[in-house]
């Protein structure tokens, strides 16, 4: 029986989309984690704001980067290899408008196109953004983005297959308070405010490390951005920005995923490039579950120390809380913990659907669609939250699985690697969208698998 994850998966159409995984072997070895998917793509968009070429280093070779590269190229930006492996140069000298067909053909399954609004309005005075893709882990509305753009003076018209924007009188500074510290909406404001006329005050901003790295990129370009206490960011608009030369911070979500793989398979993985500071909250939970880690200047060793693992209560939250992107791989490890663990997903309304297929592999996971109360809660309760109650340890057995989304898909691969027996995992292309050289890394860690479709 083929198990479908939380979202209806598209049919597999390219080689490298179906894996046959033989589980029960620990993953041991080293993986190199390069630039963060959720920074590199945004820094690429920021290059549109520069009057001179920009260079981005440690760019991960992932689908989301290819999508943004294509979108930049259809807008006349020349993208070329830089002076070191993994670097790209963006030259906006010939930047121009693109027609809908070109944009739509390249927007793909990404959410990044929405961040082109501000830069294109500054550059061309108008923009068209096709309806967005991205992981189906909730409605993923963009109301915060559109409200902010209107606040800057943009005219925003919803069309049947996207959004048309114009700024006949240019864009001016704004006073914006986000209803929730949205990462994307914060990036939208930053990428628009830096060239707007006047000062922008952003309150209740997201402050994830990727956001701070994007602020670093913009500051290198000549922007004036002050990061104040209590999630307040002031941006003084400037008339001109030049290109940047920037090395993306490492992908802490990928690093956390490999750490959970070490826990779940009782292996030992060195994640080269991982740094403690951006992973503090994750490392605390990792230790409480029974993992141990050694931090070096080059990266972090992750391994299981306790047998069996220990149960925990985790609430996902905005930074510096426990990232929502970390909970899916962690839940697989918690199926091997002795006792009852609870994961409260407070950021997205449908990010626990992936647990259904884990149940078919032998896990004991109950999802509470309206979440769970409890005196111990520290994160403010949100209407849309849900909770997963994981009782372990439960041996996992192989199954046929279809990947539903990026992090859920990775979690399925960990489960298949930890399970006894063979699993067929389909729709793996989604995982390769966000994890660079995914198959090479599995092979380097001793995973026993074949590409069968």
Q: Which run of H or E residues covers position 4?
A: strand 2-4
Structure tokens of 36?
């963060």
Among residues 91, 325, 345, 436, the one that binds ligand EPZ under rule CB under 6 A: 325
Smallest distance, ligand EPZ to C-beta of residue 265, A: 22
Among residues 69, 344, 407, 441, the one that binds ligand EPZ under rule CB under 6 A: 407
Smallest distance, ligand EPZ to C-beta of residue 175, A: 18
Smallest distance, ligand EPZ to C-beta of residue 251, A: 9
Torsion angle of the four alpha carbons 71, 42, 252, 56, in this order, in degrees rounded to the nearest 10: 80
Q: Output DSSP code: residue 273.
A: T
Nearer to ligand EPZ, 47 or 336 (CB): 47
Nearer to ligand EPZ, 253 or 335 (CB): 253
Binding pattern for the stretch 245-284 against ligand EPZ, x by CB under 6 A and - elsewhere: --------x-------------------------------
Reduced to 3 states (helix: H, G, I; strand: E, B; else coil), residue 247 is strand
Interacting span for ligand EPZ (CB under 6 A) from 96-104, 121-129, 132-140, 395-403:
132-140
Q: Which residue is nearest to ligand EPZ (CB)?
A: 184
Among residues 40, 67, 347, 388, the one that binds ligand EPZ under rule CB under 6 A: 347
Reduced to 3 states (helix: H, G, I; strand: E, B; else coil), residue 196 is coil
Q: Identify whether 135 is a catalytic site residue.
A: yes
Q: Which run of H or E residues covers position 383?
A: none
Interacting span for ligand EPZ (CB under 6 A) from 80-88, 183-191, 223-231, 277-285:
183-191
Q: Which of 283, 267, 279, 275 is nearest to 247 (CA)?
A: 275
Catalytic residue among 43, 62, 67, 135: 135
For 297, residues 6+ apart whose C-beta sits below 8 A from its C-beta are: none
Please state, in angstroms and as integers, the Cα–Cα distance from residue 4 to each residue in 1, 170, 335, 360, 405, following that order. 10, 47, 19, 10, 11
Nearer to ligand EPZ, 141 or 160 (CB): 141
Long-range contacts of 434-437 (CB under 8 A, 24+ apart): 434/37, 434/62, 434/63, 434/64, 434/254, 434/406, 435/62, 435/254, 435/257, 435/406, 435/410, 436/34, 436/60, 436/61, 436/62, 436/254, 437/61
Interacting span for ligand EPZ (CB under 6 A) from 131-139, 195-203, 293-301, 302-310:
131-139
Smallest distance, ligand EPZ to C-beta of residue 45, A: 11
Binding pattern for the stretch 430-449 against ligand EPZ, x by CB under 6 A and - elsewhere: ----x---------------
3-class secondary structure per residue, 311-353:
CCEEEECCCCCECHHHHHHHHHHHCCECEEEEEEECCCCCCCC
Smallest distance, ligand EPZ to C-beta of residue 51, A: 26
Among residues 35, 119, 130, 184, the one that binds ligand EPZ under rule CB under 6 A: 184
Structure tokens of 130?
């096709």
Residues from 138 through 177 that contact ligand EPZ (CB under 6 A): 138-145
Interacting span for ligand EPZ (CB under 6 A) from 136-144, 272-280, 361-369, 418-426:
136-144
Q: Which of 451, 429, 433 is nearest to 11 (CA)?
A: 429
Residue with tokens 């994307």: 184
Binding pattern for the stretch 186-225 against ligand EPZ, x by CB under 6 A and - elsewhere: --------------------x-------------------
For 78, residues 6+ apart whose C-beta sits below 8 A from its C-beta are: 90, 91, 93, 94
Nearer to ligand EPZ, 111 or 272 (CB): 111
Do the Cβ atoms of 36 and 213 come closer than 8 Å?
A: yes
Interacting span for ligand EPZ (CB under 6 A) from 75-83, 133-141, 261-269, 287-295:
133-141
Residues from 89 through 128 that contact ligand EPZ (CB under 6 A): 111
Name the packing angle between helices 252-265 and 324-334 (round to 10°).
Answer: 0
DSSP 398-425: --EEE--SHHHHHHHHHHHHHSBSEEEE
Nearer to ligand EPZ, 145 or 304 (CB): 145
Residues touching ligand EPZ, count (CB under 6 A): 26
DSSP 101-154: HHHHHHHTT-SGGGGGHHHHHHHHSEEEEEPP----SS----HHHHHHHHHTT-
Please report whether residue 321 would count as binding ligand EPZ according to CB under 6 A: no
308 preceded by cis ω (within 30°)? yes
Nearer to ligand EPZ, 104 or 317 (CB): 317
Smallest distance, ligand EPZ to C-beta of residue 1, A: 27
Q: Which residues are catalytic?
A: 135
Q: Tell me which residues touch ligand EPZ (CB under 6 A).
A: 37-38, 111, 135, 138-145, 180, 182-185, 206, 253, 324-325, 347-348, 406-407, 434
């Amino acid at each position: 029986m083929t198990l479908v994850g939380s979202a209806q998966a598209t049919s597999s159409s390219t080689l490298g989309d179906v894996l046959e995984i033989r589980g029960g072997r620990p993953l041991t070895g080293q993986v190199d984690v390069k630039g963060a998917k959720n920074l590199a793509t945004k820094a690429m968009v920021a290059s549109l704001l520069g009057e001179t070429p920009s260079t981005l280093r440690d760019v991960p070779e992932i689908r989301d980067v290819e999508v943004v590269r294509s979108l930049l190229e259809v807008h006349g930006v020349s993208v070329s290899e830089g002076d070191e492996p993994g670097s790209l140069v963006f030259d906006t000298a010939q930047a121009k408008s693109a027609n809908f067909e070109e944009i739509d053909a390249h927007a793909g399954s990404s959410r990044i196109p929405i961040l082109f609004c501000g830069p294109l309005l500054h550059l061309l005075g108008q923009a068209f953004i096709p309806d967005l893709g991205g992981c189906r882990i909730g409605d993923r509305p963009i109301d915060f983005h559109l409200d902010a753009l209107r606040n800057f003076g943009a005219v925003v018209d919803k069309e049947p297959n996207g959004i048309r924007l114009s700024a006949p009188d240019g864009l001016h500074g704004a006073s914006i308070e986000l209803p929730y510290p949205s990462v994307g909406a914060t990036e939208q404001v930053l990428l628009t405010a830096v060239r707007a006329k006047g000062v922008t005050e952003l309150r209740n901003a997201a402050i994830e490390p990727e956001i701070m790295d994007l602020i670093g990129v913009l500051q290198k370009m000549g922007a004036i951005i002050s990061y104040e206490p209590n999630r307040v960011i002031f941006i003084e608009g400037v008339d001109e920005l030049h290109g940047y030369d920037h090395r993306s911070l490492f992908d802490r979500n990928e690093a956390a995923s490999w750490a959970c793989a070490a826990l779940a398979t009782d292996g030992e993985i060195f994640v080269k490039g991982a740094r403690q500071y951006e992973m503090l909250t994750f490392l605390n939970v990792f230790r409480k579950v029974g993992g141990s880690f050694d931090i070096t200047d080059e990266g972090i060793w992750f391994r299981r120390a306790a047998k069996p693992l220990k149960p925990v209560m985790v609430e996902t939250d905005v930074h510096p809380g426990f990232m929502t992107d970390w909970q899916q791989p962690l839940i697989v490890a918690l199926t091997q913990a002795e006792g009852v663990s609870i994961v409260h997903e407070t950021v997205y309304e449908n990010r626990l659907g992936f647990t259904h297929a884990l149940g078919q592999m032998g896990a004991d996971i109950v999802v509470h669609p309206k979440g769970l109360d409890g005196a111990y809660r520290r994160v403010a309760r949100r209407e849309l939250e849900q909770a997963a109650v994981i009782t372990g340890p439960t041996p996992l057995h192989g199954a046929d699985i279809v990947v539903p989304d990026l992090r859920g898909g990775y979690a399925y691969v960990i489960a298949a690697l930890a399970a006894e027996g063979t699993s067929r995992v389909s729709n793996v292309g989604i995982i390769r969208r966000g994890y660079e050289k995914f198959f090479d890394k599995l092979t380097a860690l001793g995973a026993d698998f074949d590409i069968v479709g």
